[in-house]
A and B are shown apart, each in its own frame.
Chain A
């Protein structure tokens, strides 16, 4: 079953069509990558799916239910989680506190129980902290747990964002350039992490510029150019597609062909 179903999604900014009529779906345990040149509309597409932008046209369905244009916090409650290309981290909190916020929905209990520090409230807080520490270990940040998030490198913050997103136990996970700013070793670690998460049954939608990574881990690739879907298919098909090559290398590729 498709966990995430995108149907004819489009949006315009001041008359410019940033994304136009894009459709695809992501199944459980599948890794789908969205690729395309800079400015192709990948992040805009992500922003529409995750409720940051209101789509001008089309629909988004999560587990078969329509969620088009729903606010991000409601999508989070329904099991859609994402990371950002330009990071959305609580800069003034510690790394551990950032990861703990990912347990917000699971940690919810009566306000009065919290106020009087009742056993149930303490237990929930402890579970959230243990879960957060386990996730930090999973992304290789356990030793940075007590540092202020703002002091971390870009690559580490990327991994912290992934840990926070995973804390929410999402059904669908949108990753916007998770490997950007990471070195080769870190990139490979993220590779493994994403494959693992997908194997656990999460539907993953990925935007990534590291083509080697995309080709290696994706089950399915959607190619955008100028806001339109120009191709989709398995990695091997897509990388041979002449339209895709033209979009990436410019029209010279066509001249070279002919």
Chain B
């Protein structure tokens, strides 16, 4: 029992990070139809910038704030310099551009920062909390709580605010959105900034547990993408649940089978789900007009 609980705790922690990456995928996908494979780099930048800002003497909260702001700016730059100029190109080309951007950001980070593994202190100390014979790090609570707060905030933003609904309208039909007076370029900028900021926040929250280096982004992007697919691409609820589910699957496989199989098991289950439900768990069937 306590063993199971332990696996659940660690699965939830990792899953919350996947959920944040998947939410980042969802926002950009909804605004532009593009799957942004540089999403994992945002998480890396969030962690790395905080590490170096903190090391240069800034207090941790300020360092984290700078990291989120700088990463959001990188997201906006990605849109302006790489995606917007190629507008009109097929979505597949845009996705390949994001892969290129991801490689570029990774390479640049290796030069700007270094190749070492880094971390910074946990927010609320290193003493774990004991629950029913299992232990959970206080930092894990930060990660899970942060993911929940962001999810709720996003849900309110997209369902309650006119700006949020303008983003959804833009994703549905860009030209029609322009016709009713929506500045779709601003919507795109906002989506990339929001998405990058969320990724960076994930990086800030998780670095004290998982540590970070310039090359952690790729694995996170793949896992986050898998989580988003599992939940149903474009659906924030799906991204959130998909992320947590993927984290739990990995933790349980690692715990009960072997940690070597954790990636394989997760991907096999995703394949199975997509085989029977191609739209993902929460995806909605697309109806094309013929």
Residues of A participating in the B interface, judged by any CB pair closer than 8 Å: 52, 71-73, 76-77, 81-82, 84, 88-93, 101-102, 104-105, 107-109, 111, 114-115, 117, 121, 150, 164-165, 167-168
Contacts and interface: CB of A to CB of B under 8 A. Distances in A.
Interface in B177-194: 177-185
B180 A104 contact: yes
B160 A117 contact: yes
Contacts of A91: 172-173, 287, 289
27 contacts: A71-B183, A73-B177, A73-B178, A73-B179, A73-B184, A76-B178, A76-B181, A77-B181, A88-B175, A89-B176, A90-B169, A91-B172, A91-B287, A92-B172, A92-B284, A93-B169, A93-B172, A104-B162, A104-B166, A105-B180, A105-B181, A109-B162, A114-B160, A114-B162, A115-B160, A164-B180, A167-B180
B182 A73 contact: yes
Contacts, number: 78
B219 interface: no
Nearest to A107: B162
Nearest to A109: B162
A52 B183 CA distance: 14
Contact of A73 (B162, B181, B287): B181
Interface residues of B, number: 25
Interface in B146-173: 156-157, 160-164, 166, 169, 172-173
Contacts of A114: 160-164
Contacts of B179: 72-73, 76, 81-82, 88, 164-165
B157 to A, nearest CB: 7
A88 B176 CA distance: 5
Given A72-B175, A72-B178, 11 more contacts: A72-B179, A73-B182, A73-B184, A76-B179, A89-B176, A91-B287, A105-B180, A107-B162, A111-B161, A150-B289, A168-B181
Interface of B: 156-157, 160-164, 166, 169, 172-173, 175-185, 284, 287, 289
A111 B178 CA distance: 20
Contact of A115 (B157, B172, B183): B157
Nearest to B161: A114
Nearest to A90: B172
A26 B287 CA distance: 40
Contact of A102 (B156, B162, B164, B180): B180
Contacts of A52: 175
A93 B179 CA distance: 16
A101 B173 CA distance: 12
Contacts of A104: 162, 166, 169, 180-182
A121 B181 CA distance: 19
A111 B169 CA distance: 16
B233 to A, nearest CB: 14
Contacts of B178: 71-73, 76
The winner among A109, A115, A121 for most chain B CB atoms within 10 A is: A115
Contacts of A150: 287, 289
Nearest to B160: A114
A50 to B, nearest CB: 8
A72 to B, nearest CB: 4
A131 to B, nearest CB: 13
Nearest to A80: B179
A117 B159 CA distance: 11
Contacts of B181: 73, 76-77, 104-105, 168
Nearest to A128: B162
7 A-B pairs closest in CB distance: A76-B181, A114-B161, A72-B178, A88-B176, A105-B181, A90-B172, A73-B178
A90 B287 CA distance: 13
The winner among A73, A93, A168 for most chain B CB atoms within 10 A is: A73
Contacts of A77: 181
A101 B180 CA distance: 7
Nearest to B172: A90
Contacts of B160: 114-115, 117, 121
B161 A101 contact: no
A90 B173 contact: yes
A71 B181 CA distance: 10
A253 to B, nearest CB: 39
Contacts of B289: 91, 150
A101 B184 contact: no
Given A72-B175, A73-B178, A91-B289, A108 B162 contact: yes
A19 B131 CA distance: 75
A86 to B, nearest CB: 10
A124 to B, nearest CB: 8
The winner among A84, A93, A117, A121 for most chain B CB atoms within 10 A is: A93
A82 B173 CA distance: 15
A226 B178 CA distance: 29
